[in-house]
Structure 1
Amino acid sequence: MFRFSAPPPLSLYVHVPWCVRKCPYCDFNSHELKGDIPEAAYVDALLGDLEQDLPAVWGRPVSSVFIGGGTPSLLSPEALDRLLSGLRARLRLAPDAEITLEANPGTVEAGRFEEFHAAGINRLSIGVQSFDDDTLQRLGRIHGRREALRAAEAAHHAGFDNFNLDLMFGLPAQSLARGIDDIATALALEPTHISYYQLTLEPNTAFHHRPPALPPEEEIEAIQRQGQARLAAAGYAQYEVSAYARAGRQCRHNLNYWHFGDYLGIGAGAHAKITHAPEGRIERLWKKRHPRDYLAAADKVEGRATLRRSDAAFEFMMNALRLVEGFDTGLFGQRTGLAISAVTPALQEAERRGLIEWDAKRVRPTGRGRDFLNDLIELFLDGDE
């Protein structure tokens, strides 16, 4: 079906599904913690889950690990150390592998950042969202401005020379002044990476069922444009729709997603994409979603699906066109096993609409294409079977 000269780079995603409290805007597979996390049992389940997936990727190096959730930093340093030791024993982790842990400043784990660093975590992603106490309360966050500042300072103190701050805009009752203050505060904390994205009211969330009062569209646009200008002036280059980084500090794990690389996914509800190069096949699989079911099941896999030609072409475009620099046309063939001619009609139409710039070597979304990204991606929905 597909023709590959070699499989793409491989990453690992680890999902830890528990939170102290479910945020009203969150549509991730997260569950409010009732009692203690069953750490030992969950780490055992994660390693058993990985062992089931190993035959499909045997011998392939792993370039990055991302431990997300939920709030994975609720795990003790001892549990994370055992998890990472188990991963190293089973996988060929690259010597310079990027190993990221998501952290919530509203829990006591900020004081354990040094122990996380000692366990092998070399990058943090801290879910600040805002530095305004009133805004954070409206978002249902369990932390305030003081805890957010302390978490970033603790990251520096613990020796993390690479960490991300998550920041949102277009928040309930947010003014332009408050939005810009959030950016200014984040910049003063000197992270290497900032994720800056607009609040969206996702289905199956409390905010979707009971929408909060959001700023007018023109106010949201002003916050975004001025925020982006501040980021650029401070040396944070935008390389993806919502990602800004200092030179050389782009998130390698996310870049692998956006370049349509392969990834293992272990943990409750985790998804994986695996290229079986000799067979000319791309497979997706996903794990049992509820932590209770995941822990109880011997076989953690909930379902599998093989991608069709149109699936691969669309998914590649859905990811790669998020990048400001777009993609090398040769990468399309390497990652999908298809010739670029499979999407040439859609590329021509996108160019006609002013959504991309395109030549024999590179496809790049225009500013208009980034502003109307959904319209651009939809052009690739009807691929050749």
Structure 2
Amino acid sequence: MSLTLPPLSLYIHIPWCIQKCPYCDFNSHAVKQGIPEQAYISHLLDDLQQDLHWVQGREVQSIFIGGGTPSVFSAEGIAHLLAGVRQRAALSADCEITLEANPGTFEAERFAGYVAAGVNRFSIGVQSFSNPELQALGRIHSSNEAIQAAQLAATLPLRSFNLDLMHGLPGQSVEQAMADLKQAIALAPPHLSWYQLTIEPNTAFASRPPVLPEDDLLWAIQEQGHELLLANGYQQYETSAYAKTGQQCQHNLNYWRFGDYLGIGCGAHGKVTLSESGSILRTSKVKHPKGYMDLTRPYLDEQRQLDDSDLPFEFFMNRFRLLEPCPVQEFSAYTGLSEASTQPAIQKAIKLGLLHHDNQHWQVSPLGSRYLNDLLTLFLDEPEA
């Protein structure tokens, strides 16, 4: 069984932060004794070199440098990294290259240096424009720094930039949440990630939980914020992502469309299709920087092949995060399974009003978007056909 090779992206993980935030469950480590920038970049490029057999003749359509806080690296370091990537892999002519950054690590000279290095999109971790709320979230930047970072991004020759903004913060009212969102909109970012704070396991907030708004208040924030974004020309295209026309994050779109991505760096995850064997692999790299940079062990920590019984859930878990219609033929092309294998779950979802279906597309309904987890559980352990 051969599979259609989907588009290919590259994720690069830089695990260091100035300070670990209490809500963060990402693989990040507070800087204690300096950052081994050059050594880590050498390891990243060696890691990529070892993964090149999974490229299978494709161009890289997007690169996302995430963390952690990648902007703790110098512009010269990012330039060296991207030059090394270009030497090893072919990038598409319009490759989207995103760098995550925090406002507190922004300096005009460094920021322009990232652009000179080839970065053409920034994702700025604002989270809030309220100083008391920033303090409650453990953020080390101020509201003014967040505003200045967004204003600086708007002056540079970027293809786009994103602001990350949280809502449902401890003690937050609807009015406070809308004030945050209005300030973000006033800065005119082409893309806004607007998502609810959740308490994740193994975080400082999990051990000392703050008091979050009640469900009714959270729903009011969500509804009013959604209407405000629509009224200001933003289109929701994913569960927590809004963009101006044509400004969707191409890297994230490839994730949700069940595309392939190489993951390099500490704890980075990847998804790879092997066309000839008809296999789909999930990969992850060694999580801790010390272990990752240990020359006596491989970068690859885990590799597993997805079973056919896992594929319907894996495919729809990604595809149904998007509000766009899903072409029916992509399911068979990217999984190797017949459309008939999904029919019991599809018909049940349609009956429940969670999904619409014509001969060409599946489309999540507004109800399905609201109860996405209920929709996805219908695709667990689908039988083969």
Pairwise mapping of residues 361-372 of structure 1 onto structure 2 (< 5 A)? Answer: 361-372=360-371
**Alignment TM-score, normalising by the size of structure 2:** 0.97
Pairwise mapping of residues 83-102 of structure 1 onto structure 2 (< 5 A)? Answer: 83-102=81-100
Deviation string, structure 1 residues 68-98 (Cα, Å, up to 9, x no partner): 0000011000000000000000001001100
Indicate the residue corresponding to 1:334 in structure 2. 333
3-state secondary structure, aligned to 1:179: helix
Cα deviation for residue 336 of structure 1 reads 1.3
3-state secondary structure, aligned to 2:35: coil
- Bigger mean CA offset, 208-217 vs 11-20: 208-217
Cα deviation for residue 161 of structure 1 reads 4.1
Deviation string, structure 1 residues 330-351 (Cα, Å, up to 9, x no partner): 1111221221111111111111
Deviation string, structure 1 residues 226-266 (Cα, Å, up to 9, x no partner): 11111101111001110100111100000000000000000
3-state secondary structure, aligned to 2:65: strand
3-state secondary structure, aligned to 1:97: strand
Q: Distance in 2 between matches of 1:273 and 1:69?
A: 18
The 3 A distance-change label for structure 1 pair 123 and 108 is closer
Cα deviation for residue 110 of structure 1 reads 5.4
Indicate the residue corresponding to 1:312 in structure 2. 311
Contact persistence 2:273–2:279 (CA under 8 A)? yes
Pairwise mapping of residues 195-210 of structure 1 onto structure 2 (< 5 A)? Answer: 195-210=193-208
The 3 A distance-change label for structure 1 pair 80 and 232 is same
Q: Distance in 1 between matches of 2:42 and 2:134?
A: 35
Q: What is the identity, as a one-letter code, of the residue corresponding to 1:189?
A: L
Cα deviation for residue 111 of structure 1 reads 4.7
Deviation string, structure 1 residues 144-200 (Cα, Å, up to 9, x no partner): 211100110111123324000011110111111110011110111011000111111
3-state secondary structure, aligned to 1:278: coil
Q: What is the identity, as a one-letter code, of the residue corresponding to 1:208?
A: A
Cα deviation for residue 36 of structure 1 reads 1.6
Q: Distance in 1 between matches of 2:156 and 2:30?
A: 28
Q: Distance in 1 between matches of 2:98 and 2:333?
A: 27
Q: Distance in 2 between matches of 1:132 and 1:227?
A: 17
Indicate the residue corresponding to 1:261 in structure 2. 259
Pairwise mapping of residues 140-179 of structure 1 onto structure 2 (< 5 A)? Answer: 140-179=138-177
Indicate the residue corresponding to 2:302 in structure 1. 303
Contact persistence 1:103–1:126 (CA under 8 A)? yes
Indicate the residue corresponding to 2:181 in structure 1. 183
Q: Distance in 2 between matches of 1:48 and 1:335?
A: 29
Q: Distance in 1 between matches of 2:14 and 2:381?
A: 35
Deviation string, structure 1 residues 205-226 (Cα, Å, up to 9, x no partner): 1111211011121111111111
Indicate the residue corresponding to 1:279 in structure 2. 277
Query: Is 1:115 the equivalent of 2:146?
Result: no
Q: Distance in 2 between matches of 1:249 and 1:157?
A: 17
Indicate the residue corresponding to 2:38 in structure 1. 40
Q: Distance in 2 between matches of 1:373 and 1:51?
A: 38
The 3 A distance-change label for structure 1 pair 144 and 352 is same
**Alignment TM-score, normalising by the size of structure 1:** 0.97
Contact persistence 2:71–2:106 (CA under 8 A)? no
Cα deviation for residue 58 of structure 1 reads 3.9
Contact persistence 1:3–1:338 (CA under 8 A)? no
Q: What is the identity, as a one-letter code, of the residue corresponding to 1:249?
A: Q
Q: Distance in 2 between matches of 1:289 and 1:200?
A: 23
Indicate the residue corresponding to 1:104 in structure 2. 102
Q: What is the identity, as a one-letter code, of the residue corresponding to 1:44?
A: S
Contact persistence 1:111–1:154 (CA under 8 A)? no
Cα deviation for residue 292 of structure 1 reads 0.6
Query: Is 1:354 the equivalent of 2:335?
Result: no
- Bigger mean CA offset, 110-119 vs 146-155: 110-119
Q: What is the identity, as a one-letter code, of the residue corresponding to 1:379?
A: L
Alignment root-mean-square deviation, CA: 1.2
Indicate the residue corresponding to 2:382 in structure 1. 383
Q: What is the identity, as a one-letter code, of the residue corresponding to 1:52?
A: Q
Indicate the residue corresponding to 1:54 in structure 2. 52
Q: Distance in 2 between matches of 1:344 and 1:109?
A: 54
Indicate the residue corresponding to 1:124 in structure 2. 122
Q: Distance in 2 between matches of 1:67 and 1:212?
A: 30
List alignment gaps of at least 5 residues for structure 2.
none
Contact persistence 1:162–1:192 (CA under 8 A)? yes
Cα deviation for residue 107 of structure 1 reads 2.0
Contact persistence 1:16–1:267 (CA under 8 A)? yes
Q: What is the identity, as a one-letter code, of the residue corresponding to 1:319?
A: N
Q: Distance in 1 between matches of 2:33 and 2:148?
A: 26
Q: Distance in 2 between matches of 1:78 and 1:17?
A: 18
Indicate the residue corresponding to 2:246 in structure 1. 248
Alignment length (residue pairs): 383
Q: Distance in 1 between matches of 2:343 and 2:2?
A: 18
Q: Distance in 1 between matches of 2:298 and 2:283?
A: 12
Q: Distance in 2 between matches of 1:198 and 1:336?
A: 32
Q: Distance in 1 between matches of 2:188 and 2:361?
A: 33
Q: Distance in 1 between matches of 2:383 and 2:340?
A: 10
3-state secondary structure, aligned to 2:262: strand
Contact persistence 1:127–1:165 (CA under 8 A)? yes
